Amino acid sequence: MKIIINIQRYNPDIDTASYFQKYDVEAEPTERLLDALMQIKRFQDGSLGFRKSCAHGVCGSDAMRINGKDGLACKTLIKDVAQKDGDTVTVEPLHHLPVQRDLIVDQKDFFDKYRFIKPYLINDEEVEGKERQQTQEERMAFDDTTNCILCAACYSACPVLDKKPDFVGPAAIAQAYRFIADSRDRALDERLELLDNKTGVWPCENHFKCTQACPRSILITKRINQTKSLIKKHRR
C-alpha cells in the first residue's frame, strides 16, 4: 500500500521554524509506523531525527503525536492510521516539551516532575526476614501503575498543560499513587503534601485524555482522583 507520511521537521542548526515534509512510503497495513519511519531514514532521508530503542512498546522512547493522537510509533499499525492508497499519516513531536530536532523532544521537564514525586519506596523500618511482603490484594491496589514506561504520551495529551505548564502532569501523579497505595511505603503524608497545591493534583480537570493516550492501559485519571480523595481525607 502506498501512503504519505507527513512529518514535522525542525533542525535548530538551519531552521528558524518548524515545517512539514511529505514522504511517499510503500508499507504493509500490518507493519508498524516505526517501520515506515525507519524505512524513510534508511532509504530516503538520513537526516530525519526520532528516538527508538526496543521497538516493542517497552522502552517508551518513540512516543509521538500520530494523526493528532499521542502514542508509540512501535505500537501503531499502518492500517490503524491509513486505510487506503494515498492516505496521509501526520506525525509530530510530543506536545508540552521543547523540540530538540524533528520528532525528538527535550524530556527534562517531564523527568524533573517525575523525580519531584519521589518515585521510590520510602521505609526505614527493619526488614523482617528477607523481604517486605504484601498480599496479592495489596499489590493489586496499584498494579496497573507499575507498567508505566515513562513515554510521556499522557503528558503530551493533557489539555491542562496547554494552559498550566507548571502542572506536574498525569504520569507523575500516577507514579506518586504507585507508592501512596503501596502497603510497604511509609511516606504517605509527605507524598500527599507534595501534591496538595496548585501545581499538584488540583489542576486536573478529568479530561481523561491521558488515560486514552496511555499505551500501557494505566488507569491514570482514576489514580489522580483517588489521590485527590486521599488528600481530602487526610486534611481533616
Residues near ligand SF4 (CB under 6 A) are: 148-154, 170-171, 174, 213-216, 218, 220
Cell matching residue 114: 517525575
HEC string for 96-163? CCCEEECCEECCHHHHHHHHHCCCCCCCCCCCCCCCCCCCHHHHHCCHHHHHCCCCCHHHHHCCHHHH
For cell 533542525, name the residue.
11
**Contacted entry of ligand FES, ligand SF4, none for residue 171, CB cut-off 5 to 8 Å set by kind:** ligand SF4
Q: With binding defined as CB under 6 A, does residue 141 bind ligand FES?
A: no
Which residue, 5 or 224, is less far from ligand SF4 as judged by CB?
A: 224
Cell matching residue 95: 506536545
Provide, rounded to whole angstroms, the least separation between the CB of residue 85 and ligand SF4.
32
Q: With binding defined as CB under 6 A, does residue 57 bind ligand FES?
A: yes
Provide, rounded to whole angstroms, the least separation between the CB of residue 192 and ligand SF4.
20
Which residue, 151 or 220, is less far from ligand FES as judged by CB?
A: 151
For cell 501545581, name the residue.
199
Residues 6+ apart with CB under 8 A from 232: none
Q: With binding defined as CB under 6 A, does residue 38 bind ligand FES?
A: no
Q: What amino acid is encoded at 232 in this protein? A: K
Q: With binding defined as CB under 6 A, does residue 229 bind ligand FES?
A: no
Cell matching residue 197: 497545591
**Contacted entry of ligand FES, ligand SF4, none for residue 59, CB cut-off 5 to 8 Å set by kind:** ligand FES
Cα–Cα dist 64/59, whole Å: 14
Q: With binding defined as CB under 6 A, does residue 60 bind ligand FES?
A: yes
Strands 19-26, 2-9: parallel, antiparallel or unpaired by DSSP?
antiparallel
**Contacted entry of ligand SF4, ligand FES, none for residue 154, CB cut-off 5 to 8 Å set by kind:** ligand SF4
Q: With binding defined as CB under 6 A, does residue 52 bind ligand FES?
A: yes
Identify the CA nearest to 68 among candidates 183, 156, 139, 186: 156
Provide, rounded to whole angstroms, the least separation between the CB of residue 199 and ligand SF4.
18
**Contacted entry of ligand SF4, ligand FES, none for residue 169, CB cut-off 5 to 8 Å set by kind:** none
Give the range of 20-28, 48-56, 158-166, 216-224 binding ligand FES by CB under 6 A: 48-56
Q: With binding defined as CB under 6 A, does residue 77 bind ligand FES?
A: no
Partner residues linked to 104 by β-bridges = 101
Cα–Cα dist 145/224, whole Å: 11
